[in-house]
Chains A and B, each alone.
Chain A
């Protein structure tokens, strides 16, 4: 079984809809991240959480919200989807205290907003 899973893997939605992307991990890591990837722009950090009670905005958090339901679960919501949120979304995890602290990625969710 994969250590980091994301659901759904593909999603098509319409402008204005609220959607949720989910991430679960069995690695036992404290830290979780949400990124989006667009062609030519690389991976950009949306939100990150260092434990259940610690959630922080990344460089492009506008239009997104997150929930850390448990150590193993971190969800990303688009409150009102817009076409420029069409992208590939990745969840990642890392283990506090390891050197170097490496991020491990889920398989990604491909989102299309019409």
Chain B
């Protein structure tokens, strides 16, 4: 059973702080990893994808990947109240089919 694990939270950070969201995955063959943001009752929206070890930055967001440790993280700098949402981590599945396994998400609360 391929799994993607996330702390459900809530993770509370003050406005302007850095929010750090973490994710581990069990499938060593996973190559691509995704972070989605989901507001309550809405659909998941892609924030970033990453498939190389190291950091990838896009505006206030930085994704970090460590394949040896099977660990993915998302940093949100200068957190804003509008960042309050559930963040889903996902990993593609090895084995020839491009399916994706999603974590259950971490709820982030940015306190004004």
Q: Which residues of A contact B (CB under 8 A)?
A: 31, 40-43, 45, 48, 50, 56, 58, 88, 90, 94, 96, 99-108, 110
Q: Of B12-20, B74-82, B96-104, which binds chain A?
A: B96-104
Partner of A41, one of B98, B99, B104: B104
* Contacts known (A90-B44, A107-B42, A108-B43); A102 close to B34, Cβ less than 8 A: yes
List chain B positions with a Cβ less than 8 A from chain A. 8, 31-34, 41-46, 49-51, 88, 90, 92, 97-100, 102-105
Q: Is the interface of B mostly helix, strand, loop or mixed?
A: loop
Q: List the A side residues contacting B44 at CB < 8 Å.
A: 43, 90, 105
State whether A42 touches B92 (Cβ < 8 A).
Answer: no
Instruction: Provide 8 A-B residue pairs closer than 8 Å at the C-beta atoms, listed in order of the A residue.
Output: A42-B102, A56-B97, A100-B33, A101-B32, A105-B43, A105-B45, A107-B42, A107-B43
A110 nearest CB neighbor, chain B only? B41
